[in-house]
Amino acid sequence: EIDRVWPGTVRITVREREPWGSWEQAGVRYTIDGEGYVLGHRDPPEGSTTIVSNESYSLRAGDRVDYHAVAAAAEITTQIEKALGTWAVELTYSPGEGIRVRTADGQTALLGDSSGIAYKLAVWARVAEEATARNITYSTIDLRFGDRPVLR
């Protein structure tokens, strides 16, 4: 941030990026900030979120991982317990399918990108209720297509 202060002064403010969580890729865990920038290998905040990517190349400080995946993971971890009564135990990212979440009670969902996470979680909760009422079992729910959830 640069501010001009009259007369003849410039004030420069530098803000260090703060660790948000971890991004694991190619077997290496990197600390990232909330915008997906790689901060290196320093320790992330205790109890923070880890996203496991299936991409195989290595990263270095300053690189940026998929910020949509980071935004989705942040929203999922803060809303899933209220929406479904469970919590995320594993978040994975694949460029082809986006974010996949596995919950503490064994459910798995493909959520795609960061758009409409609250809506997707509400649909998931409603489908889970309906599946229980109708005695339908499924291993995965695909919520990437908005109002057309797919059960497998």
- Residue ranges and CATH numbers for the domains of the chain are 17-64 (no CATH), 66-152 (3.40.50.11690)
Structure confidence by residue, pLDDT tens digits, 22-53: 999 999 999 999 999 999 998 889 999 999 99
Residue pair 65/38 in contact (Cβ under 8 Å)? The answer is: yes
Chain-centre distance for alpha carbon 116 = 13
Please state the pTM of the whole predicted model. 0.86
* C-beta separation of 40 from 30 below 8 A: yes
Q: What is the pLDDT of residues 74-103, one digit of tens each?
A: 999 999 999 999 999 999 999 999 999 999
